[in-house]
Structures are given as structure tokens and as C-alpha cells.
Amino acid sequence: MIDHEQLTSALETAKDLLLAECQNGPDGLPHWEGKLSTSALSTATAVMALQQVCNAGRTAADYSLEADFAALIRGGLSWLAGHQNEDGGWGDTVKSLSNISTTMLAHAVFNATGTSHEFSSHVKKAKQYIDEKGGVPAVVARYGKDKTFSVPILTHCALAGLVNWEEVTSLPFELACLPAKFYSTIQLPVVSYALPALIAIGQVKHHHRPSWNPLVRFIRNRSVKKSLQVLDRIQPPNGGFLEAAPLTSFVTMSLAGKGLADHVVVKRAVSFLCESVRLDGSWPIDTNLATWTTTLSINALKDHVPDALRPGLSKWLLDQQYKEVHPFTNAAPGGWAWTDLPGGVPDADDTPGAMLAVMQLRGRRATSSDDFALAVDSGAEWLINLQNRDGGFPTFCRGWGTLPFDRSSPDITAHCLRAIHKLTIVYEEMSQRRARSFQSINSGLKFLKKKQRPNGSWVPLWFGNQFAENDENPVYGTSRVLMAYRDLGMLDAPEAQKAAAWLASVQHTAPGPDSSRGSHCGGWGGNAEIEPSVEETALAVEVLLEFDSYRKNAFDGISWLIDKVVDGSVSVPTPIGFYFARLWYFEGLYPLIFTVSALRRAVEIAESNPA
């Protein structure tokens, strides 16, 4: 067993670091905002959007903005030039491996802005990388049937004059004119959250290269105005679709590229892009994950949340719950999004996180009629109504099952089950929902059992590891699913036992003294033989602490984490997050949050087993 004083000291240090990140917002209420990684992909698309606006002869004054478009474009180009990888490509973050998609986007903006000669060495290296990786066919192959990102990327390159419009797949933007309830039935070629891209990119393709079919041309010509009205209606007031610079930029460049630089959607979107640029000239992948990082922090700290913060955190969280039908996804009231900003959309990962946090802050002091109980009850209703027929939970919309990022996933399903289960415990008097809750949990468990891999692991949807096969992160997925088995008191289930054995088996090893056997160094990467990270180690440790058979593995991991706390690297993030369609990001608070949760649980176990 690890030295108790050293363990508690590490917890206090990590906890203090995390609490120091909790700040009051403009409303005077405390929460954690975090800091998302800056992004070459976001920067390239934002530069292209502004360039297309400039090509249309517009200046910031035309949009009543004080920004300088030329300076923003120049800042973005300089940032891209300064962050090109040695192989000539760009990754999604400054810590990411190069990929064909982001490299084609970055390469294109130098051509679009007429600066290829000025940045000739960067452009030459990028072109070599693109040719080596396969160019346009490689982009299409990377995403398969999912057109959510391949078509926007090729549109971006077509606007730069580097790709023929014939190579850009037409998107049926006319389908956006149908009532939202039909979207899942007609199986759109983009995921549920990409409706703005479907409309804008579909229109610019139609503008430059309309269909040869006269009937299709007629229908699309008649659909332009109405679909633009849909786009206007679903755009947040601050202009940022999903608070995401790439999606907002793709919409902007497409509309400006077809002669609609004066459209109200473009004006709002350009304002968002000017507001979201960072001081170094880059753009982040999204504005923030404030709701997500706040709920993760509360659920990591649990009883260590200071009493002075609890009322403010509670009010802030309750204020983030959606009380009306969401105009973007037509989601019913009751859910939470990842952010407190207007571009957020309620989803099935942030909603259970918020429910768990609200119940953690309130505990058993609530009654079924207070605001806390009503909030989590409506959250449970929202989740149960979202559950797919296969028993799993999708991210945004029920029934959108054709594309990977719309299907049920193990990590989200496990999170939902934890929240629904805890509701039945904390608010036992809510008997009207208990039958549906138990049915939902049973269906979810069947889904998880079905999705478990033969080796015992589960693969998550929204997290990966760039060094793993197919970019998968089974350590993250398995850890998250095991947390559901833990909360449901089912760690003796065969699935849980098999998963724990697999998780212990992929712990990172160091060469042993005889060079023939390895010994546990304590850390975990996304899978076996992958360099450990703070995030993945902390997640694996937290769940393995619950298994007597693997407690030695867990405390080896705790020792590894303590070393990171001591040397200060506990706050160094790793790019393990997916922000839609395999677009990598890292969040500055993830390693600290996950470490606090693991160390807190280790202290609890150590104190309950003093021997």
C-alpha cells in the first residue's frame, strides 16, 4: 500500500489546483471554463471564411465590426506557418500527428490568400505530404460514407482553386426544408448536428456545379430561399454554430463563395469568428466546454466541493438546463449541452454529467418538489426518451443510426445508466419513473453486453488515441463503462470481471532487471504498448481500485500519478478527445480532473483499509 501521507498530500495539491480554476462568470456564479486546444483546422477554415468575405469586397465596417480582416488573415497564416510539422503536414492540435484533412485545409489557404510564393517552403512541404498521402481520394476514404467532414474539406479546397467542383459531392440541401421530424427517416448523408453544413455547402456546390438532372436542379433552385430561412432560424444569436469555428467557417465561406456575403447568417458568423480568435492569431476548436468541465470537476471532487461554492455552482448548473425545444436539433426540454454559450446543443453525455453533479451537490436533502429534483427528473425523462431501440444511447438524436457519430455508443450509454440509476436512489419517492428507469437500465446493460469486445474491452465514441490502431481508445471506453457497473453494484458480473482483467493487462510495463520480463510502471495509454498519459492512467486507476484482484495495479498507477503531481506535469494534457468526426482536441482541465477523482477514491480506500 502506498504511503498515506504522500497520497493525501498529492490529493490536496491536485485538488487545490483544480479549485483554483473555478472562477466566477459575468453572472457572478462560479464554474469551470477550462481551455480547449487551439486548432490548425479551425485556423485554416476561419482564414478561408474571412478571405471569401474579402473576395466579395466586404470589410469589417460593412458588418459594423471593429476588426481588421487583413490582420486576422495574416495572423492565421503566420500561426499556421509556425506550427507546420516536420513531415510537412498539420495535425488538429499542436500535439497531434499530421493528417491529410487538416493539411489540405491549411495548404489551401495559402493559395486562396495569394501568399503561396511568400510561404513557398511551407507550401512545397505541404504539397509533398498531400501527394504522398493520396490527396482527394485519401480524404474521402478517411471518412467513408460520412460526408460531414469530407465534403466541407473538399469545398474549402475548391474555393481555393485546388480541387475541381466535380470532385465535391453534392449535398441534398433541399431536404432541410422538410419538417425536422423526418430527418432521421430520410437518412441524411451528414450527422444530425451538421445541418448548417448540409445547407450552406450544398448550396455553394449547386451554385458552381448544379446537377445534370433537370428535376433535381429545379427542386434545388426552388429550395434555396427556404433552406436559407432554416439556416437563419437555427443559427445562435452570437453567430457560432455549435460554438465551433470550423462549422461556422464552412457556412461562411460557402455562402460568401456563392455571392451571399451580405446575408444575415454571414454577418453573424463573421462576428463570431472575429470574437473567437486568440491573441496568437489562431482559433480554438470550440469556444469552451464549460458545462462539461464543471460537471466533471464536481463529480471528481464530490464531498470535497467547498460549501461556499455549492449554492453558486448549483444555480449555475440549473441555469444551463434547456427549458424549451431546441431550434437546432428539435430536442425536447430537459437536457444540458457542453457549454453555457448560445451555440450549445443538449446531448446525452453532458446531460447525465449534469444530473450526477446536481445530485452530488444536493445529496439527499432534496424533496421531489424542489428545483433540484425537478431538474434531474426532467433530465431523466429526456434521456429515456432519447434511448435507441438497441438499448444504447446516441449523442444528440434518437433514431439517427446510419453514421458512426449518430449511433448508440458504450461510453455515453454507461454515463446515462449511471445518472438514471442514481436518480432512483437519491429521489426514491419518484415512483412514477422507477418502472421506466429500471427498464431503461436493463436495456442499456444488454446493449453494453452486446458491444463488449471478445477481449473484454469497450471502445468509446468521443475519445481516441492517435497512436492506437484505428485511433481507438479502449482504455477510456472500458474505464467509463466499468464506472457504470461500479455504480450499479455489478462488479461481479462476468462482463465487468472480464473488462477489469483486460484493463489490468494493458498497463504500461518497463523492462525488468533480467530484460526478459516487464514490470508495471503504473501508467496507461489508450491500449497496450502505448505511452501512458495522465488522463488514461487516472481513468483506469479509478475503476481498478474497486477490484481486490487488481488493487496492486491500481496503486502502481496511483504512484505514477503522484509523481506527475510532484513534478508539476499533472496539468499537461494529451490529445485524446474527438470533436466530431475524428477531429482531435485536448482540454487543459482533463488531466487534473481525472487525477483528482482517482486520488480521492484512493484516499477513501486507503482510509477504509488502514492495514
- What's the pLDDT score for residue 517? 37
Bridge partners for 393 per DSSP: 409
Q: How confident is the model at residue 430 (pLDDT cuts 50, 70, 90)?
A: low
Long-range contacts formed by 337-340: CB under 8 A, 24+ apart: 337/291, 338/286, 338/289, 338/290, 338/291, 338/292, 339/243, 339/286, 339/287, 339/288, 339/289, 339/290, 339/291, 339/292, 340/25, 340/31, 340/288, 340/290, 340/291, 340/316
Evaluate whether 1-27+453-511+519-611 and 39-284 have a shared fold. Answer: yes
Angle between helix 135-143 and 120-133 (nearest 10): 60
Determine the average pLDDT of the residues in 36-65.
97
Per residue in 444-453, pLDDT tens? 999 999 999 9
Of 178, 186, 203, 201, nearest to 247 by C-alpha is: 201
pLDDT above 70: percentage of residues in the chain: 92
- What's the pLDDT score for residue 579? 82
- Residue 513 predicted with pLDDT over 70: no
> 1-27+453-511+519-611 adopts what CATH topology?
Glycosyltransferase (1.50.10)
- Residue 180 predicted with pLDDT over 90: no
Of 586, 585, 588, 583, nearest to 193 by C-alpha is: 583
Of 203, 156, 144, 146, nearest to 49 by C-alpha is: 156
- What's the pLDDT score for residue 432? 59
CA 483 to chain centre: 20
Per residue in 12-49, pLDDT tens? 999 999 999 999 999 999 999 999 999 999 999 999 99
Per residue in 244-277, pLDDT tens? 999 999 999 999 999 999 999 999 999 999 999 9
- Residue 189 predicted with pLDDT over 90: no
At 153 the three-state DSSP class reads helix
Determine the average pLDDT of the residues in 126-144.
92
Residue that has been written with the C-alpha cell 434521456 in this structure: 383
Per residue in 516-527, pLDDT tens? 334 457 899 999
- Given a contact cutoff of 8 angstroms between Cβ atoms, the answer to whether 355 and 378 are in contact is no
Q: How confident is the model at residue 514 (pLDDT cuts 50, 70, 90)?
A: very low
> 321-451 adopts what CATH topology?
Glycosyltransferase (1.50.10)
At 22 the three-state DSSP class reads strand
Of 381, 352, 350, nearest to 487 by C-alpha is: 352
- What's the pLDDT score for residue 516? 37
At 591 the three-state DSSP class reads helix
Model-wide pTM > 0.85: yes
Q: Write down the mean pLDDT value for the chain.
A: 91
Q: Where are the domains of the chain?
A: 1-27+453-511+519-611, 39-284, 321-451
d(CA 58, CA 52): 9
- What's the pLDDT score for residue 518? 41
- Residue 181 predicted with pLDDT over 80: no
- Residue 379 predicted with pLDDT over 80: yes
At 518 the three-state DSSP class reads strand
Angle between helix 590-608 and 290-301 (nearest 10): 10
Of 586, 597, 604, 423, nearest to 91 by C-alpha is: 586
- Residue 609 predicted with pLDDT over 60: yes
> Which residues neighbour 114 within 8 Å (Cβ) at sequence distance 6 or greater?
none
d(CA 213, CA 210): 9
Per residue in 213-223, pLDDT tens? 999 999 999 99
Least confident of 387-391, 401-405, 559-563: 401-405
- In order of 30, 435, 542, 546, 550, the CA distances from 610 in angstroms are 36, 41, 19, 16, 18
Q: How confident is the model at residue 405 (pLDDT cuts 50, 70, 90)?
A: low
Per residue in 66-76, pLDDT tens? 999 999 999 99
Q: CATH assignment of 39-284, given 1.20.950.20, 1.50.10.20, 2.70.70.10, 3.40.109.10?
A: 1.50.10.20
- In order of 208, 304, 596, the CA distances from 16 in angstroms are 56, 10, 10
Determine the average pLDDT of the residues in 363-383.
78
Residue that has been written with the C-alpha cell 467542383 in this structure: 165
Q: What is the CA radius of gyration of the chain?
A: 24
Determine the average pLDDT of the residues in 413-428.
90
- Given a contact cutoff of 8 angstroms between Cβ atoms, the answer to whether 272 and 239 are in contact is yes
- Residue 529 predicted with pLDDT over 80: yes
